[in-house]
Structure 1
């Protein structure tokens, strides 16, 4: 994976979402369904976030990595709240249901807001 990561270190949720989108598109081209990936690794966002933070191959303690991934998801939810005008709880629920594909999240958030 590290061969395909950008050279810059980032914890920007939007940048990581872009990488997640690229991973999912590449997987689809190879005939791999997104459900297969999430069954195997859980959160693709979390895996990429962790890889960006531990580029040299050293992986932090599980608790610290989990906290960092949770923090990144919280940042992503905050961005969704600001841009779509939904509640933080709604944003977190969308991320749980949909994943971290920014275009899908934004579309669903705007749909959700329209139902209020």
Structure 2
């Protein structure tokens, strides 16, 4: 598993995906090519990203279809990955991470802030 690959991919998506929602395969394919080229420039093997996400195209497509922070009605694979990463990053349960995604959407910075707040609140309540 490549933490370096997924971290690069997450950061790239946060910085480069347009704010508009789209399901245009040509636009999504262009974004997929751009992230792969950027990874290669950074010395990150494409396989490091594919190990973590499977299909870069599908992850970008899901992100572009849910730019408003909504969750898809069907396939939650990408959101399970996001919940797992959030749980690991902040040391919360996967259920707590899923709940945060359900309440706040998929913006990584917002999720991190809310997860850290949750963790701090749990720590304070545990000290009482």
State the TM-score, normalizing by the size of structure 1. Answer: 0.51
**Which blocks of at least 5 consecutive residues in structure 1 are unaligned?**
24-36, 47-64
Specify the structure having the higher radius of gyration (Cα).
2
1:78 is matched with which residue? 84
Question: Retained in 2: the 8 A contact 1:13–1:75?
Answer: no
**How well do the aligned residues superpose, as a CA RMSD in angstroms?**
3.3
**CA-to-partner distance for each residue in 1:37-77, whole Å, 9 max, x for gaps?**
57xxx53xx3xxxxxxxxxxxxxxxxxx823xx11111100
Secondary structure of the residue that 1:66 maps to in structure 2?
A: coil
By relative contact order (CA 8 Å, sep 6+), the higher-ranking structure is: 1
Q: Does 2:56 match 1:10?
A: yes
Which structure 1 residue ranges, 4+ long, deviate > 3 Å from structure 2? 11-17
Corresponding residue of 1:66:
74
- Length, aligned pairs only: 76
Rounded to whole Å, the distance in 2 between the matches of 1:16 and 1:10 is 10
